[in-house]
Amino acid sequence: MKLFMPERVIFEPSSLKYPLGVELYDFFTNNDIEVIKSTSNKTSSFIPGITPITKYTNSKKTILITTMKNKKLDFCSPSADYQFSLVSNCPGSCEYCYLQTTQGEKPSIKVYVNLEDIFQVIKQHIKDEGITTFEVASLGDPLALEHITGSLAKTIEFFGELENAKLRVVTKFSNVDSLLQLKHNGNTRFRVSINTENVIDNFEHNTARLNERIETASKLIAHNYPIGFIVAPIMVYDTWEEDYKDLFTLLYEGFGYKYNHEEITFELIQHRFTARAKDMILQRFPHTKLDMDEEKRMLKWGRYGRFKYVYPKEQSCEIKTFISSLIMDKFPNAKIEYFT
Ligand code: SF4
């Protein structure tokens, strides 16, 4: 897919004190991108837009260069012990995106340039015993910006030298070539996000196509990265069973048969939405085909203090059983880590 380039980049004052901030400043000014040096951390007024749609689309073309101030990492159940971020948000426009309600009305893409501080905080969270796992993609997709920042590569090599910590990355993008030769030491597990062609075509705008994602997984495993797949969000619609069957056939033909399946993991996440997310999605995508009919769902209390709508118990058991059987049919030794 075509690599993303922003229309405008805003630098917060603190960002230019770090080598990566300065490097990015030079890069964007040399590439004829609109660069704004902000004198304060209040930057949303630099992003044009009046309606929810124009605010959203302009924000998705804007990068904010900033610094990560958190010294304490959040837990990241069920996928890892902790989460941290190199970026938040991404240039993709998935209609169902779980970040719709957490990034404000102008969800620009944030890049954190104080990598040394971030690595220091990670080191402080490694447990004395056992392996500590860290998720880097819970608030965005760092691979989507890797051709600009290079910071995922530095993070993979940082983890490559750690003995008791593992990195976990999720992506819907495909530009992994710059990561293939890194000294990762098997400490980074990539999980490629996959879904039916129907879901990708209708809801996952500006992300890599399914065949590109499968090719990405093949390249990574050929370079000895541990690999997994996140099947998310699993949606029930008229032809969902045939479509998910096709998905695993394509995955098997494009990737699966070549490798030892024992090392492959699957994470399964059913589609869910909150009342607030539904409202936001309808403002930004008024013609969305997303099924957000509350009558067909049940309410479940979420860990972020909000009720979310998930499939009713019987239906979610059916989804879990069906998708698990498709996986076991094609990848009998793979590990299904969780269904949620
Ligand atoms: S790729 Fe991930 S972070 Fe980006 S819009 Fe889609 S769901 Fe959200």
Rounded distance from Cα 325 to ligand 1 centre (Å): 27
Task: Decide whether any atom of ligand 1 lies within 6 Å of the 172 Cβ.
Answer: yes
Of all protein residues, the one whose alpha carbon is nearest to atom 3 of ligand 1 is 140
Domains and CATH numbers, the chain: 8-339 (3.80.30.30)
**Whole-number percent of the chain with pLDDT over 90:** 91
Nearest 10 degrees: Cα torsion 106, 111, 113, 119: 120
Task: Decide whether any atom of ligand 1 lies within 6 Å of the 207 Cβ.
Answer: yes
pLDDT at 127 over 90: yes
Q: What's the pLDDT at 124?
A: 97
Rounded to whole angstroms, the Cα distance separating 182 from 241 reads: 39
Model confidence at 258, pLDDT cuts 50, 70, 90, reads: confident
pLDDT in tens, 283-301: 999 999 999 999 999 999 8
Mean residue pLDDT across the chain: 95
Average pLDDT over every residue of 219-225: 94
Q: What's the pLDDT at 276?
A: 93
Q: What's the pLDDT at 305?
A: 67
Atom of ligand 1 nearest to the CA of 172: 1
pLDDT in tens, 44-84: 999 999 999 999 999 999 999 999 999 999 999 999 999 99
Q: What's the pLDDT at 111?
A: 98
Rounded distance from Cα 93 to ligand 1 centre (Å): 6
Task: Decide whether any atom of ligand 1 lies within 6 Å of the 36 Cβ.
Answer: no
Rounded distance from Cα 227 to ligand 1 centre (Å): 19
User: Nearest CA to 46 among 54, 57, 58?
Assistant: 58
pLDDT at 306 over 90: no
Rounded distance from Cα 90 to ligand 1 centre (Å): 6
Of all protein residues, the one whose alpha carbon is nearest to atom 8 of ligand 1 is 97
pLDDT at 261 over 70: no
Identify the burial level of 88 via C-beta atoms within 10 angstroms of its C-beta, where 0-12 means exposed, 13-18 middle and 19 or more buried: buried
